[in-house]
Amino acid sequence: MRAVKKLLENLCLLDGISGDEGAVREFIISQIKDQAQISVDPLGNVIAFCKGEKPAKNKVLVSAHMDEVGMIVTYINGDGTLKVQCVGGVDPAVVYAKRVKVGKNKVPGVIATTAVHNLSKEEKGKTPGFDKLTVDIGCQSREQACKLVKLGDSVCFDSQFLTFGDGFVKSKAIDDRAGCAIMIKLIQDRPRYDTYFTFVVQEEVGLRGATTASYTVDADYAFVLEATTAADIPSAHDDKKVCCVGEGPVVSFMDRHTIYDKEMFDLAFETAKKNHIPCQTKTMIAGGNDAGAIHLSRNGVRTTAISLPCRYLHSPSCVIKLTDLQYAYELTKLILDRTYNR
């Protein structure tokens, strides 16, 4: 648990929105370079082959994405503030007044909009869109701002990694640095059989890295490690909770991009029950992940998604429980062992 948590912390504190995953990629390679044969494809995906004690009957792939949601600079205003647009599914309601870092120099800034006492009646009570938001980096002119940032710079949440309450963690980028942390630990622990691992780019903007990486690997079976929306909050009831933090990893039967392999879905729950691992599924057909690209690759890949239930997804303050992280690692390792030679 401690090792996976430390990996998660190190990964979450790195900045890497879609298309700008370099820092995350460098860290991952530093952690697995002695345990795997590594290549980086033209899109920036890390493809790692981990040789086991012996070859497997089936070619097995484990995948997670490196990128996080964020924003990108699209214009520099005359007063030195920045106009931005979202990269990935970011709700403008979760970014107002939040601290951010801009560009390679990590210039500090704050997401700003019109003060509440200056809003018209029509504007009050409405969430401003990104066209109404700016980033204040403490400059007074365009010329001053241009010395610090440029168009196309990444804008990332400035968020602490915090352990709190009864084993909870709060951070940005848990989607999907949690999956990356589990994969690093699986590689460091050396799988028993030959296994491919892909740390992919640009999931948040359309499953792009997974599309190319899965084509390269050409696997028989794939496991996508992810974080998924938990809405287990007081205002949600019954099926609207989707899944619950603290009740174990989430194995999906269907989302907006994938109908998952039914035999592998059943195997996951059978394995969890046999090994006394709490496990749950989603109660809504919602969302999607890299499985949507992987299961359609080449002549088809039998695909399973194992996700961490996560509150406040795609925000600066994603929340998971550490026991779910540990159980997701254990369940993935056990299912892998039952898949190599099916």
Count of alpha carbons within 13 angstroms of residue 135, beta-carbon side: 35
**What six digits make up the tokens of 70?**
């964020």
For the chain, the C-alpha Rg in angstroms (whole number) is 21
Is beta strand 221-229 parallel, antiparallel or unpaired with respect to 302-310?
parallel
Phi and psi based region of residue 117 (left: phi greater than 0; alpha: psi -120 to 50; beta: remaining): alpha
**Catalytic one among 203, 226, 247, 270?**
203
Give the closest residue to 178 by CA, choosing from 288, 329, 312, 69: 329
What are the residues whose beta carbons fall under 8 Å from the beta carbon of 109, sequence distance 6 or more?
82, 99, 100, 101, 102, 135, 136, 137, 138, 155
Active site residue 330: no
Return the amino acid letter for 60: V
What is the spatial distance between Cα 208 and Cα 200, in angstroms, rounded to a whole number? 8
What is the spatial distance between Cα 169 and Cα 177, in angstroms, rounded to a whole number? 13
Neighbours of 53 (CB within 10 A): 9
What is the spatial distance between Cα 301 and Cα 217, in angstroms, rounded to a whole number? 11
Residues 124-130: contacts with CB under 8 Å, at least 24 apart: 127/91, 127/92, 127/93, 127/96, 128/92, 128/96, 129/92, 130/71, 130/84, 130/85, 130/86, 130/92
- The residue assigned the tokens 């099916």 is 342
**What six digits make up the tokens of 131?**
């066209």
Return the amino acid letter for 19: G
Active site residues: 203
